[in-house]
Amino acid sequence: MGCWVGKRNGWNYKTPYGSKPQSLLEPAVHINRFEAENYCKSINGRLPSFSEWKIAAYKQSLPSTKFTINKTYRYHSGDKAENMNSQDLLAYNRHVDVTKLPEGINGMVGMGGNVWEWISDNRGGDSLTVGASWWYDSGKTKESGAQYKPSNFYAIYVGFRCTFDK
């Protein structure tokens, strides 16, 4: 399955490759930053900021048998890049049902690889995406791999997650 960038007829979050997803537990993709933000607002959430996302993705803040509390890791998977859906590791060559991916820092799934995630940080008409995707190698899943993309950008490998205030 090839990668597609840009708005394509019949492709949206309900039909990411022009047809229904293989699983309802796949991330919502082929959605621009504004649509992601509006969805989060509709369920009383919001897109996380880069600083919030980094803490969730790389700094273990919950008791864990696998990770050291208060330690900041290089990857969502820990000190080494492993078990992430990226071209050099799992390489599914598409996003997958999140239950196929192991838990990482703070019990979060898919913070590295699978799909880039829109976050609230923006610069002019561009918005920051984090975590990389299946289309990239695991090096992009590090904090330094974050990339600005046009806020109205559509791609099969860009999704989002919402955060909620207490």
11 versus 140: the higher-pLDDT residue is 140
Q: Tens digits of per-residue pLDDT, 96-153?
A: 999 999 999 999 999 999 999 999 999 999 999 999 999 999 999 999 999 999 999 9
- Indicate the length of the chain as a whole number: 166
> Average pLDDT of 68-92?
95
93 vs 2, more confident: 93
pTM over 0.75? The answer is yes
DSSP-assigned letter for residue 151? T
The residues spanned by each domain of the chain are 33-160
The residues pairing with 127 across neighbouring beta strands, listed in sequence order, are 122, 149
What pLDDT is recorded for position 18?
84
pLDDT at 6: 66
From 51-55, 90-94, 116-120, the region with the lowest mean pLDDT: 90-94
CATH of domain 33-160: 3.90.1580.10
Asked if 145 contacts 129 with a C-beta cutoff of 8 angstroms, the reply is no
- Phi, psi for residue 57 in degrees, rounded to 5: -85, -30
